[in-house]
Amino acid sequence: MTDLLVAEGLVRIYSARRGLLGKAAPVRAVDGISLCVRRGETLGIVGESGSGKSTLGRMLLGVDPLQGGEVRYAGTPMPPAGTAEWRRLRARMQMVYQDPLSALDRRLTIAAQIREPLDIHKIGDAAFRAARVDELMRAVGLRPDQAGRYPHELSGGQRQRVVIARALATGPDLLVCDEPVSALDVSIQAQVVNLLRNLQASAGLAMVFISHDLKVVRNLCDRVAVMYLGRVVEEGPAEDLFADPRHPYTRALISSVPEPGRPLDGRVILQGEPPNPAKRPPGCAFHPRCALATDICRGSVPQLRKAGPGRAAACHHFDGADAARAA
């Protein structure tokens, strides 16, 4: 499996100005993230709100500008957003959004919107496009007689299927899904997740799946990266990570995921304030809430270190010993 998308050292800084007379307070939403996605694999990105995961998703597609680092797709650097080259590249990579209703134009029928990528990239003739729309609708589980409907006439789950169908119209290699099921009812979530998995298998798609919901991520993803305040604190194959989390934050997250049939035991409860990218703690960003924090955690930022085959974690203490002594 070759690397499809490679990101190195991504940095994104917002300068949030408060009103006309406020000071510019720079906020590091993404602070030096490197990762790669291989063809056909699903990478899960997990984090709370404020962790910067949505921003990361947009940066991977080249939608948000980078204040540092680089993204390479199939070996070539991502063209700047808005250029003709970038627009052409959209046929190869697409996005699925959290709120399907606002991602769709309420004045157009869903068939017209599913067909739109084909119109934009001038793929095929009218007959071909009509046939492709039919095919896509069937593939996501929409009935043909719904083609003339408007987005507001469908349920949330159906709308999300439309968004997915539209995203797949040009047969992309990469799909970035930003919390695609968070706005849906729990029973529908499972359907849509299964749909995504089936589509991915049949089309050989690579997928980046951004979510705060660990159950779903565990279900769907091959590899997982856990984010905290703009940095990756742990990454590795999904099964391994869930079975044996190394980073204290990951441990806390996973211990809170309920398993049917068993009561929650060994639950780690985090103290302190939820992460606020505007007020980043010095040293390890997690140290105010960490039970294992020591002086070194307050002083220096831990880097990602190997923590097993294909795994890495950014913590001074994840292997139970003082990493500085071991280094």
The one among 4, 104, 216, 224 contacting another protein by CB under 8 A: 104
Q: What are the structure tokens assigned to 281, written together?
A: 């703690």
Asked if 152 is part of the footprint of another protein (rule: CB under 8 A), the reply reads yes
165-182: b (≥16 Cβ within 10 Å) or e = bbbbbbebbbbbbbbbbe
Asked if 149 is part of the footprint of another protein (rule: CB under 8 A), the reply reads yes
CB 286 within 8 A of CB 249: yes
Q: Least distance from C-beta 173 to another protein, angstroms?
A: 15
Choices 127-135, 147-155, 222-230, 260-268; region in contact with another protein by CB under 8 A: 147-155
Residue 173 or 234: the one with the smaller Cβ distance to another protein is 173
Q: Least distance from C-beta 199 to another protein, angstroms?
A: 14
Choices 39-47, 135-143, 217-225, 268-276; region in contact with another protein by CB under 8 A: 135-143
**Full DSSP string of 37-85:** EETT-EEEEE--TTSSHHHHHHHHHT-SPPSEEEEEETTEEPPPTTSHH
CB 235 within 8 A of CB 224: yes
| Interface pattern 40-79 for another protein (x via CB under 8 A) | ---------------------x-x----------------
Q: State which amino acid sits at residue 169.
A: A
Q: Least distance from C-beta 41 to another protein, angstroms?
A: 22
The one among 11, 27, 120, 257 contacting another protein by CB under 8 A: 120
Can you say whether the dihedral through the CA atoms of 191, 193, 194, 200 is positive or negative? positive
